Amino acid sequence: MYLFVEVIFHAGQRRNLPKTGYRPDAIFNKLGDYWGITFTELQVDKFDNPTLAIIKFTFQDCHYKEVCLGQKFSIMEGSHQVGEGKIISIVMNE
């Protein structure tokens, strides 16, 4: 199971661009719950530029049932928002 997403990493929020294997938290719901994610495919060339990626939930597979197409999310490092994204597709192949 995985999510195909479009993400943007904001300039000035991180020193370096992230790469495949990056493991931040994400906020998908209005409650502000932090859910661990892992970027299993990510090739970002510059800040503030939309790029496609594949993410998986790091700890809880039940989260796949709690998200929907087009849903927006915040990419977090601690309490600091470093980017944002939108779900393009949800692949439930397992």
Question: Residue 51 has what pLDDT?
Answer: 98
Closest CA relative to residue 66, chosen from 76, 53, 57:
57
- Cα-based distances in Å from 90 to 78, 80, 86: 26, 26, 11
DSSP 93: -
Is residue 21 within 8 A of residue 72, CB to CB? The reply is no
Question: Residue 2 has what pLDDT?
Answer: 96
pTM confidence score: 0.94
Give the containing element (helix H, strand E) for 61: none
Give one DSSP letter per residue of 23-83, joined into a string.
--EEE-STT--EEEEEEEEE---STT--EEEEEEESS-GGGGGG--TT-EEEEEETTEEEE
As a residue count, the chain comes to 94
| Domain 2-91 sits in CATH 2.40.30.10 | yes
Tokens of 85: 């994204």
Residue-level pLDDT, tens digit, the chain, 94 residues: 999 999 999 999 999 999 999 999 999 988 899 999 999 999 999 999 999 999 999 998 889 999 999 999 999 999 999 999 999 999 987 5
The domain ranges of the chain are 2-91
